[in-house]
């Protein structure tokens, strides 16, 4: 029995050296998609999932209307256009705390992004559902691919900004944003 205890201790000591420490510290970098989602600005056409903890009646999906508002029970209209989901969540919490709920806890997430549009030399022009992280190449595939006469190196994106519509020429691996209009030109022979 005296020999068994030291050998068990030695085995446990060897196994403890095999443990893997979790990634932490300065060498760990969070995925870039989290940063991109955190800076995403809401606009008309986005559908938000609003969760009010401990109140199932207020938890629901709400669409952003043409004026930029979502309409919630109790608090009424809340302006969401141009805000992040965190800012919108904070505004809803503030409005609920003004006399409806004591210490509300609200989470907001994008349930469905506004669509993107594609036109020009693709098989099926039109409006399509956006998926976060989508590239121009994926958008063209969603629209059925290029036609035989399409210019296949670059496309033009028309993007709504706070200062107006911006025209950008990009390659096929560029990421698109919800609400973008992608124009695939005809190639010159």
**185 vs 188 pLDDT, higher one:** 185
> Is the model's pLDDT at 53 over the cut of 70?
yes
Question: Last residue of some domain: 79, 112, 145?
Answer: 112
**pTM for this entry:** 0.70
Give the residue, 8 or 97, on which the prediction is more confident. Answer: 97
CA 183/CA 176 separation, integer angstroms: 12
| 104 and 134 belong to one structural domain | no
Asked if 176 and 116 touch (Cβ cutoff 8 Å), the reply is: yes
Residue 121 structural domain: 116-184
* 127 lies in the same domain as 167: yes
Please say if the pLDDT value at position 77 is more than 80. Answer: yes
Any idea what the CATH number is for the domain that residue 173 is in?
A: 3.10.560.10
- 22, two tokens: 């979790």
Q: Which of 133, 136, 131, 126 is nearest to 113 (CA)?
A: 131
Q: Are residues 96 and 40 in the same domain?
A: yes
pLDDT of residue 2: 53
| Average pLDDT, integer, range 142-157 | 94
Q: How many domains is the chain built from?
A: 2
| pLDDT, tens digit (0-9, with 9 covering 90-100), for 12-49 | 444 444 444 444 433 333 334 344 455 788 999 999 99
Whether 176 is covered by a domain: the verdict is: yes
Q: Which residues pair with 161 in a beta bridge?
A: 164
Give me the mean pLDDT over the 133-154 stretch: 94
CA distance 165 to 77: 27
């Amino acid at each position: 029995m005296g020999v068994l205890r030291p050998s068990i201790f030695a085995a446990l000591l060897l196994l403890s050296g095999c443990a893997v420490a979790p990634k932490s510290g300065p060498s760990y970098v969070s995925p870039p998609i989290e940063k991109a989602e955190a800076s995403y600005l809401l606009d008309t056409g986005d559908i938000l999932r609003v969760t009010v903890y401990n109140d199932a009646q207020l938890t629901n999906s709400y669409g952003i209307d043409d004026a930029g508002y979502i309409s919630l029970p109790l608090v009424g209209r809340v302006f969401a256009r141009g805000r992040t989901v965190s800012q919108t969540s904070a505004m809803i919490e503030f409005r609920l705390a003004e006399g409806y709920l004591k210490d509300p806890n609200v989470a907001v997430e994008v349930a469905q992004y506004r669509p993107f549009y594609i036109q020009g030399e693709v098989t099926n022009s039109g409006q399509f559902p956006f998926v976060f992280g989508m590239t121009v190449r994926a958008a063209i595939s969603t629209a059925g691919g290029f036609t035989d006469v399409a210019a296949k190196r670059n496309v033009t994106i028309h993007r709504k900004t706070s200062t107006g519509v911006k025209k950008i020429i990009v390659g096929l691996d560029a990421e698109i944003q919800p609400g973008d209009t992608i124009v695939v030109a005809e190639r010159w022979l």
